[in-house]
């Protein structure tokens, strides 16, 4: 996994900052597995977009995205999300989807999000 | 050695499973029928309900198949039972007006209704009782009534539903009566061979039938395939293609049938969908119980969208909601407070929305969200926000707004806050699970791929029996219509096999 993912993850999902080493390893493993099943061309596009996401702020602020103060990082990320350029918006959507997958894809953490499914869900309907 | 079959069905979902069952009596007369299914047949204990694990086991690209311009993700399954393993079991008969709009010569609504009802009976379709309706669903229906909107309960194909809420990950209680529970087991009992982990790479005309190049793999999950891993060639007198609206056109295109069928792959429709959510003050029952009990078709004719109840899992919820950071996390980290609505846009069949193939023969879905669909989404978001607030929600998530979250205090400003200017691809997560068209029925090869009984123009041995037959979108959840059309196509194929035999005798 590109280390940049973990650098921006706390801006996308603040709970990432509270993850311990095991949680972070799991986060990385999920993203790695997702990327491994994608075609090489898609992985290349993602790498190119991550480069752009990281280094665009060098021109504007003199530092790469992950070295900016939190508020400026958020502003940069919003810029991509709301961009007039469809490619930027879709690239950002891809990055945030992967980060969300790494974080919310951890079934072992369901309880943290008040998600406690049961095979016998009907028995819980009228608790 | 090349194995020979009287009939081969490619795919085992709503279409293929139905076709297999319809053809299965032939086996009792000594004929050979096989179903070739790309995906595995999972063991019962492999339905774990864990989101990423099940997505990887059951869906193409783990449920994240992207359209060419990356504006929409498509969810479609590969498994014994195809997408019937992962839908919620909603079972509606296609409306008469829709079949009229389809305007396929030789296709009558009454025939589809009769066949749909036959399968509704066979697959135990019924309405859930009030004791099985959770808050997420009840609030939706009550709010529709408060607002004066037309809403109705979904008939569902369940038997012994325990309300796990995990329908889209494959029911862990074996309650959903898809083709994997009903039609395929019956076909196998009658002698049909169902070969899983078997991908059909190409179909080639041969004599009065076809030769199929297939690859059997070992996926490491599910029951082992009946055939050992490796490549093989099989021959079939009759082929029924039921690989779904993405894979069926792609298989025909990479087999070289595109030249004689200019409509092949075209007129793809998808009921593009939005997952919307709202947060209540206190926990509601939502992930317990069946997730999809009601729909609202009040706006179908005027604004081109349907609203349905739904409830998704943490990652699917997170990726479907726009935005990021603390506000986004505040929504997703309290799953027990969420009410959810699925918006389905009733998209037009456009010639340029189509399935093509990439350099390695893989399917590429070239689909543009039309301005009409984008407008329908904005109207649907406004309507959903009203519904959520009427249901008691304190804030709603609206992707086509400036920062996505609208509080109850701003309820009067919804028309301003939610507007088309914010409705941009990439910014708003659009998905689809109703994939239709690509092998549309019609009168001639100039603008269609098959006739009204699914027979491919100019290829009397080849039938299509899946949602790719739809000439336009179905305007309702499509699976019962797929079964009805597959019933017609397989019946026609069976008649062909019988008539050839009579002629030979």
Domain boundaries, chain B: 3-43+59-124+168-268+434-504, 130-158+273-346+370-424
B163 close to A121: Cβ distance less than 8 angstroms: yes
For residue B319, which phi and psi values (nearest 5 degrees)? Answer: -75, -25
Residue to test with chain A: of B166, B427, B431, most A Cβ within 10 A: B427
- Which structure tokens are listed for A113? 């999000």
Nearest chain B CA: its distance from A100 CA (Å): 6
Place of tokens 């009065």: B208
Nearest chain A CA: its distance from B130 CA (Å): 11
Query: What is the 8-class DSSP label of residue B321?
Result: S
Q: Quick one: CATH architecture of B3-43+59-124+168-268+434-504?
A: 3-Layer(bba) Sandwich (3.50)
Mean pLDDT of chain A: 94
CA–CA dist A31, A33 (Å, integer):
5
* Environment class of B212 (CB within 10 Å of its CB; exposed 0-12, middle 13-18, buried 19+): buried
For chain A, list residues with pLDDT below 50.
none
- The pLDDT, as a whole number, for residue B1 is 64
CB contact burial B285-323 (16+ within 10 A = b; e otherwise): bbbbbbbbbbbbbbbbeebbbbbbbbbbbbbbbbbbbbb
- The pLDDT, as a whole number, for residue B481 is 98
- The pLDDT, as a whole number, for residue A1 is 65
Write out residues 267-306 of B within 8 Å (CB-CB) of A. Answer: 283, 285, 287-289
- Which structure tokens are listed for A37? 């099943």
Q: Angle at which helices A70-81 and A86-104 pack, to 10 degrees?
A: 120
Q: Which residues of B touch A114 (CB under 8 A)?
A: 283, 333-337
Judged by a CB distance cut-off of 8 A, whether residue A82 touches chain B is yes
Nearest chain B CA: its distance from A55 CA (Å): 20
β-bridge partners, B425: B428
**CB pairs A-B closer than 8 Å:** 138
Query: What is the 8-class DSSP label of residue B459?
Result: -
Nearest chain A CA: its distance from B143 CA (Å): 20
- The pLDDT, as a whole number, for residue B2 is 82
B98 close to B131: Cβ distance less than 8 angstroms: no
Query: What is the 8-class DSSP label of residue B450?
Result: B
SS3 of B203, please? strand
β-pairing, B230-241 vs B3-10, is parallel
Question: How many C-beta atoms lie closer than 10 Å to residue A34's C-beta?
Answer: 21
**Candidates 1.10.357, 1.20.120, 3.40.1710, 3.30.410; CATH matching B130-158+273-346+370-424:** 3.30.410
Nearest chain B CA: its distance from A93 CA (Å): 6
β-pairing, B338-345 vs B273-279, is antiparallel
Residue B161: which of B186, B124, B198 has the closest Cα? Answer: B124
Distances (CA, A) of A62 to A5, A7, A55, A58, A59: 20, 18, 9, 4, 6
Q: Angle at which helices A40-61 and A86-104 pack, to 10 degrees?
A: 110
CA–CA dist B427, A9 (Å, integer):
18
Tally of residues, chain B: 505
Query: What is the 8-class DSSP label of residue B118?
Result: H
Place of tokens 């069949």: B349
Write out residues 120-139 of B within 8 Å (CB-CB) of A. Answer: 131-132, 134
β-bridge partners, B347: none
Q: What is the ipTM of this complex?
A: 0.97
B485 close to B471: Cβ distance less than 8 angstroms: no
Do the Cβ atoms of B52 and A96 come within 8 Å?
Answer: no
B88 close to B136: Cβ distance less than 8 angstroms: no
β-pairing, B72-74 vs B430-432, is parallel
Distances (CA, A) of B150 to B142, B147, B383: 11, 9, 13
pLDDT along chain B (505 residues), means of 10: 92 98 96 98 97 97 95 97 97 98 98 98 98 97 98 98 97 98 98 98 95 94 96 97 98 97 98 98 98 98 98 97 96 97 98 97 97 98 98 97 94 96 95 97 97 97 98 97 98 93 82
Residue to test with chain B: of A40, A65, A122, A123, most B Cβ within 10 A: A122
CA–CA dist B36, B227 (Å, integer):
11
Handedness of CA B369, B370, B371, B375 (dihedral sign): negative
Residue B243: which of B432, B2, B19, B444 has the closest Cα? Answer: B19
Q: Which residues of B touch A102 (CB under 8 A)?
A: none
CA–CA dist B171, B163 (Å, integer):
9
- State the greatest distance between any 2 C-alpha atoms of chain A, in Å, as a whole number: 58
Residue A105: which of A36, A17, A10, A16 has the closest Cα? Answer: A16
Instruction: Give, for B495, the enclosing helix (H) or strand (E).
Output: helix B479-504
For residue B68, which phi and psi values (nearest 5 degrees)? Answer: -55, -40
Do the Cβ atoms of B164 and A118 come within 8 Å?
Answer: yes
Residue B376 CB partners (closer than 8 Å, separation 6+): B303, B304, B305, B345, B346
Do the Cβ atoms of A12 and B325 come within 8 Å?
Answer: yes
């Amino acid at each position: 996994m590109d280390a940049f993912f973990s650098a921006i993850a706390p801006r996308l999902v603040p709970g990432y900052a509270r993850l311990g080493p095991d949680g972070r390893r799991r986060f990385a493993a999920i993203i790695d597995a997702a990327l491994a099943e994608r075609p090489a061309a898609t992985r290349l596009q993602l790498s190119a977009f991550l480069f752009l996401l990281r280094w665009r702020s060098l021109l504007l602020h003199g530092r790469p995205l992950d070295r900016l103060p939190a508020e400026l990082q958020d502003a940069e990320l919003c810029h991509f999300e709301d961009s007039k350029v469809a490619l930027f918006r879709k690239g950002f959507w891809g990055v945030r989807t992967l980060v969300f997958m790494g974080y919310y894809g951890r079934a072992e953490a369901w309880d943290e999000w008040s998600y406690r499914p049961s095979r016998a869900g009907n028995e819980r309907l009228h608790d | 050695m090349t194995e020979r079959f009287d009939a081969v069905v490619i795919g085992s979902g709503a279409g293929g499973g139905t076709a297999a069952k319809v053809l299965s009596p032939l086996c009792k007369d000594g004929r050979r029928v096989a179903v070739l299914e790309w995906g595995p047949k999972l063991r019962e204990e492999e339905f774990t309900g864990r989101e990423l694990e099940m997505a990887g086991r059951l869906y193409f690209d783990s449920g994240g198949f992207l359209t060419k311009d990356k504006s929409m993700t498509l969810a479609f399954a590969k498994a014994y039972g195809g997408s019937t393993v992962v839908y919620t079991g909603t079972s509606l008969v296609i409306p008469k007006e829709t079949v009229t709009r389809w305007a396929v010569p030789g296709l009558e609504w009454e025939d589809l209704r009769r066949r749909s009802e036959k399968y509704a009976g066979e697959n135990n379709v019924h309405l859930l009782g009030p004791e099985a309706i959770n808050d997420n669903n009840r609030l939706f229906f009550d709010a529709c009534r408060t607002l004066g909107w037309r809403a109705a309960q979904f008939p569902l194909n369940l038997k012994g539903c325990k309300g796990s809420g995990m329908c889209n990950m494959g029911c862990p209680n074996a309650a959903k009566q898809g083709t994997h529970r009903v039609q395929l087991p019956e076909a196998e009992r009658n002698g049909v061979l169902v070969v899983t982990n078997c991908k059909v790479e190409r179909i080639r005309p041969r004599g009065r039938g076809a030769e199929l190049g297939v690859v059997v793999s070992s996926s490491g999950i599910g029951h082992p395939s009946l055939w050992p891993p490796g490549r093989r060639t099989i021959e079939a007198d009759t082929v029924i293609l039921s690989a779904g609206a993405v894979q069926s056109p792609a298989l025909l295109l990479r087999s070289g049938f595109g030249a004689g069928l200019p409509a092949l792959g075209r007129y793809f429709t998808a009921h593009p969908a939005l997952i919307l959510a709202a947060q209540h003050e206190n926990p509601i029952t939502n992930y317990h119980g069946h997730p999809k009990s009601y729909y609202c078709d009040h706006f179908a004719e005027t604004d081109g969208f349907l609203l349905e109840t739904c409830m998704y899992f943490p990652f699917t919820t997170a990726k479907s909601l726009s935005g990021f950071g603390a506000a986004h996390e505040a929504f997703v980290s309290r799953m027990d407070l969420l009410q959810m609505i699925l918006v389905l846009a009733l998209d037009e069949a456009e010639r340029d929305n189509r399935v093509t193939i990439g350099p390695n023969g893989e399917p590429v879905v070239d689909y543009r969200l039309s301005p009409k669909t984008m407008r329908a989404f904005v109207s649907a978001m406004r309507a959903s926000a009203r519904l959520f607030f009427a249901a008691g929600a304190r804030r709603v998530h609206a992707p086509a707004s400036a920062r996505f979250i609208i509080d109850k205090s701003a309820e009067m400003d919804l028309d301003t806050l939610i507007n088309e200017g914010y409705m941009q691809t990439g910014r708003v997560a659009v998905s689809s699970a109703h994939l239709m068209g690509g092998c549309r029925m019609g009168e001639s090869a100039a603008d269609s791929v098959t006739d009204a009984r699914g027979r491919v123009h100019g290829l009397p041995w080849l039938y299509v029996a899946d949602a790719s037959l739809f000439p336009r979108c179905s305007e309702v959840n499509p699976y019962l219509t797929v079964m009805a059309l597959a019933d017609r196509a397989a019946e026609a194929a069976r008649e062909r096999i019988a008539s050839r035999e009579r002629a030979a005798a």
